[in-house]
Amino acid sequence: MDKQAVRGFLLQSLNMALDIDGETTYTNSFDVEVLESGFLFIPRVPCSYILGVDLYQRIFAIANGILYPAYTVLKQAGAYFVKTKSSDIHTARAFFFPWLVGIPERLKIKNIGEFVRSLTGEELPLMQGMILDFDRITHVAIAGNSGSGKSYSLVYLLNVLHGFAKLYIVDPKFDTPARWGRDHGVNVIHPEDNRSQNDFVTQVNEMLSDVVKTIHKRQATFQEAEETIFQPIAVVIDELLALSLSVTKTIKESFFNLLGQVALLGRSTKVHLILVSQRFDANALPVAVREQANLFIQLGNINRKTTQFLFPDLESADGIVVPIGKGTGLVQVIDGIHPANIMPLLMPTYERR
């Protein structure tokens, strides 16, 4: 569809469904301008309707539904105002609705080994047309209920990261990540029958302490030679909540303190956290650590209850067309390159050969 066709389609739909006290384009109350990166809703003020978040979200709900699958309108936490080119006070402002052309599509990989070898640098492909630069990712938080595809998605990330990063893996369930580590020669910290839960988490704390020491060494090296390039380190912890339950207060506090140090100091020294949990409440992770992440993935059921920790500013996922199936959900990446909006996600599928 060309811009004029899209504009006409939007105007017709808004006139029919928006219902703002009878104000329409027929009464010259607003207009729409279509851009490459989205569209503008330009009200002519003064008007009988309030230019606020309620109106913005109503327009979003209408536009996202009717434009699918030609465009994916990106959900905003609040009203997104922009200045127009007009110098007339009546049309000097507009709501901006950014979009992606088409819809997110799953990356289907025939051979994961060959695929990883074909990547260059620190590439981390998430979907068709969405390739992240891992160097711009501080930390990663992945949430999802049982059966949502967390483990499958995590193993995909392990395969990709193994191509360029040093991995530290913690698997409290002694399950999928542990088997991946065995097959790829990567040591995995996991529970053992002859050790208590406190002993297991103490092992994790010792590993995190070694990582903090590495961070300090890298910081000292930077003081001598700022151009030094370090190999990325990824600390991967599956089922995070299992580590903070059923342990003594002292060990739990040590665990949270060490996580906090890695989260706060790791960015400049290329040390990253990859954290996986069914939820990210205060029992699983301190808020200060969660706020250091800039790649958020929510898999499985999408509702206010499941998104409240990773996407606290998202009042409702209404209007976002979330795909159905395992490894699907929502993603937000704040890397300065991709739109920071919350958008649908379909994690890659792959075959091991």
164-211 pLDDT tens trace? 999 999 999 999 999 999 999 999 999 998 889 999 999 999 999 999
The mean pLDDT of 139-144, rounded to a whole number, is 96
- 303 labelled ligand-binding: no
225, exposed or middle or buried, with CB in 10 Å at 0-12, 13-18, 19+?
exposed
pLDDT at 304: 84
pLDDT at 77: 78
Q: Which of 113-122, 246-255, 256-265, 332-341 is predicted with the least confidence, judged by mean pLDDT?
A: 332-341
The mean pLDDT of 135-140, rounded to a whole number, is 96
pLDDT at 21: 84
- 75 labelled ligand-binding: no
What amino acid occupies position 308? Q
Collapsing DSSP states into helix, strand and coil, what is residue 88? coil
Distance CA 260, CA 267 (A): 12
Distance CA 137, CA 124 (A): 10
Q: In this model, does residue 228 exceed pLDDT 90?
A: no
pLDDT at 113: 92
- Reported as a single tens digit per residue, the pLDDT across 65-99 is 999 999 999 988 789 999 999 999 999 999 999 99
Q: Name the token pair of 308.
A: 């409240």
- Reported as a single tens digit per residue, the pLDDT across 33-56 is 999 999 999 999 999 999 999 999
The mean pLDDT of 235-258, rounded to a whole number, is 93
DSSP 8-state symbol, 16: H
Q: What's the pTM?
A: 0.89
Q: Residue 263 — very low, low, confident or very high, per pLDDT cuts 50/70/90? A: very high
The mean pLDDT of 91-112, rounded to a whole number, is 94
Closest by CA to 14, choosing from 66, 77, 81, 79, is: 66
The mean pLDDT of 247-273, rounded to a whole number, is 95
Q: In this model, does residue 352 exceed pLDDT 70?
A: no
pLDDT at 314: 79
Closest by CA to 97, choosing from 67, 69, 131, is: 67
The answer to whether 310 and 298 have CB atoms below 8 angstroms apart is yes
Terminal CA-CA length for the chain = 41
In the chain, % of residues over pLDDT 90: 75
Average pLDDT, the chain: 92
pLDDT at 353: 52
Question: Is the N-terminal amide bond of 69 cis, ω within 30° of 0?
Answer: yes
- 147 labelled ligand-binding: yes
Collapsing DSSP states into helix, strand and coil, what is residue 23? coil
Please give the torsion angle defined by the CA atoms of residues 130, 133, 134 and 139, in that order, rounded to the nearest 10 degrees. -70
Distance CA 324, CA 321 (A): 9
- 260 labelled ligand-binding: no
- 148 labelled ligand-binding: yes
- 37 labelled ligand-binding: no
Strand 123-127 and strand 81-83: the pairing is unpaired
What amino acid occupies position 242? A
Q: Residue 332 — very low, low, confident or very high, per pLDDT cuts 50/70/90? A: very high
Q: How big is the chain, counted in residues?
A: 353
